[in-house]
Structure 1
């Protein structure tokens, strides 16, 4: 579905596609019809080399059983939440908890077959859908943790608490799994620095201030949701930030490994994987979103920067000085 162009401020960096770009990037997409038999039925597993580092334009349910088994190190899942939502013409309707759980059950266990035995899975949701996500995760994986990340956006509510957080459930296939805690340490300001023999203890004194490297916890308050002045921003209604994906990828996918995203949206997981030296497979049913992803992937050829991540360290929100 082609979206109408909005009139934007010259300073607005939100990604747009020209007609020529749309035609160009559509040629980069992989359509599963290319793997169909004479009757048009998709059969067998897709050859991994034919979909590696590609964007597949398809409905997950139509191809989930054709994805190569045990190929992915990290499965990142950002499905439609249990809300009425319009994804530029592709509408998802809210249901009961039982109905939403049944929806998850229709593809989640089948999707897990793509994970390596040492692989990890992360699945996103809000407070309304989180109980359903946990129930399904517990049934099919070893649940390791729940990440809560602060999504500070929106005008609030008059008759309820403003919803400023979302959940990400973390699970593994087994007890032997990849996790690199050192790769996701955060640089935090030290407000009351402690010294030992006159020297900083467990912190560093710099021209920009006093900082300490800390292990990443499961509450993330350093994430900025993409907005109009950020180059990674698109018109996708539920776009995830590259910084958020960077944490998950660095922690749970080794360099050169494979990140699989079955609900790619505007391409954040694939783009971040590429910037961090990982392989990717993205699946998205909206052709326009797929083209957005491909344009962002083209930018990632030359621009490897990730907002809030520099020199192998994640910085607290608004503490990383602009670097030129």
Structure 2
């Protein structure tokens, strides 16, 4: 994460300097007791998630976003997560999933990210504690090819709720698509689409198949060196759909800070937990940048747009 390399002119990847580390490490939170919600709101907690969870106030979270390490060998800035048997991986998930339950409000929702293998292991646990309402599949438009298998180009997100009373703002997450077949009614007026100076578009209801997500890459200002960074656009969909302004969003596997950054841009409170100090500092750096720039790639004029279709301002 720390770097002194000179980047190419078009490379906008965020890096963490030693000066950044010294500046932002002093802003990190560590929990040693259960205090009030105000003590942890809008902070980055540098701590193992299981230790931090034990000190968070009960029934305080409106939306939980979980992006744990998948059951794969992966290097997270020098700390390796090793592949386990499905049984061992499920046991590990339950060590932090069960204590998270008491932190959620009765009206809370949660989203759990997974790949195709860990998804089948996590699902039975989710049915034990929550109502599973849907499985979102989103397309990763890049990835390594495979010579003897299908290229792995999708991931899952499980949508769950604590009860039958929950938030879902369908109008906040509609997708704006370009119209290919512009049907008109008998009077010649557009039928279920809008004719604008920027083109012909239709607002469509959100489905559980997402093909409009771009993985952060080197020319995007949100990109970091985190190996499994989720796009801000993806997290924005979850937050807008299942929370309201002023609600509290918790991410116990914060990584480089995407959930907290998007929550801040969308006027929600956030609590982020991350065990790696460099990633915590990167999250704080991104949060500081969000004070000056609240744009989210692919989200424009209160609509989500198809990949590469957002009109230029």
1:139 aligned to 2:138?
Answer: no
Displacement after TM superposition at 1:63 (Å): 2.3
2-structure distance, mates of 1:50, 1:165: 38
* Other-structure match for 1:78: 67
TM-score for both structures, normalised by structure 2: 0.97
Alpha carbons 1:144, 1:171 under 8 Å: kept: yes
- Note if contact 2:62-2:248 (Cα within 8 Å) is conserved in structure 1: yes
Give the match for residue 310 of structure 2.
320
Instruction: Show CA shifts across 1:222-258 (max 9, x none).
Output: 0000000000000000000000000000000111101
Aligned to 2:159: 170
Match of 1:183 among 158, 168, 172: 172
Give the CA RMSD over aligned residues.
1.1
Offset of residue 144 of structure 1:
0.5
SS in 2 for 1:106: helix
One of 122, 137, 140 as aligned partner of 1:151? 140
CA drift at 1:7? 3.5
* Residue of structure 2 equivalent to 1:40: none
Say whether the 8 Å CA contact 1:73–1:116 is kept in structure 2. Answer: yes
Do 2:2 and 2:16's aligned partners in 1 also have CA atoms closer than 8 Å? Answer: no
SS in structure 2 of the partner of residue 277 of structure 1: coil
Q: How does 1:37-56 map to 2 (within 5 A)?
A: 43=33, 45-56=34-45
| Correspondence 1:19 to 2:21 | no
Tell me by how many angstroms 1:70 deviates: 0.9
Matched residues in 1 for 2:35 and 2:253: separation?
Answer: 18
Deviates more, 1:154-163 or 1:75-84: 154-163
Do the aligned residues in 2 keep the contact of 1:133 with 1:169 (CA within 8 Å)?
A: no
Superposed CA deviations along residues 179-237 of structure 1, whole A, max 9, x for unmatched, are 11011011011111111121001100122221100110000000000000000000000
Counterparts of 1:6 and 1:219, CA distance in 2: 39
TM-aligned CA deviation for residue 263 of structure 1 = 0.2
Deviation string, structure 1 residues 62-88 (Cα, Å, up to 9, x no partner): 222211111111000000000011101
Give the SS at the match of 2:105.
Answer: strand
State whether structure 2 residue 202 is matched by structure 1 residue 237.
no
Residue 287 (str. 1) matches residue 252 (str. 2): no
Aligned pair count reads 312
Task: State the alpha-carbon separation in 2 of the partners of residues 92 and 202 from structure 1.
Answer: 49
Structure 2 Cα separation of the partners of residues 236 and 17 of structure 1 = 11
Q: Aligned residue for 2:8?
A: 9
- Contact 2:232-2:259 within 8 A present in 1 as well: yes
Gaps of at least 5 residues in structure 2 are none
**2:4 and 2:146 mapped to 1: Cα distance?**
30
Structure 1 contact 271–297 (Cα < 8 Å) conserved? yes
1:203 maps to what in 2? Answer: 193
The CA deviation at 1:48 is 1.3
CA contact (8 A) 2:52 2:273 kept: no
Asked if 2 retains the 8 angstrom alpha-carbon contact of 1:267 and 1:296, the reply is yes
* Structure 1: unaligned runs, 5 residues or longer: 36-42
SS of 1:171's equivalent in the other structure is: strand
| Cα distance in structure 2, aligned partners of 1:20 and 1:91 | 26
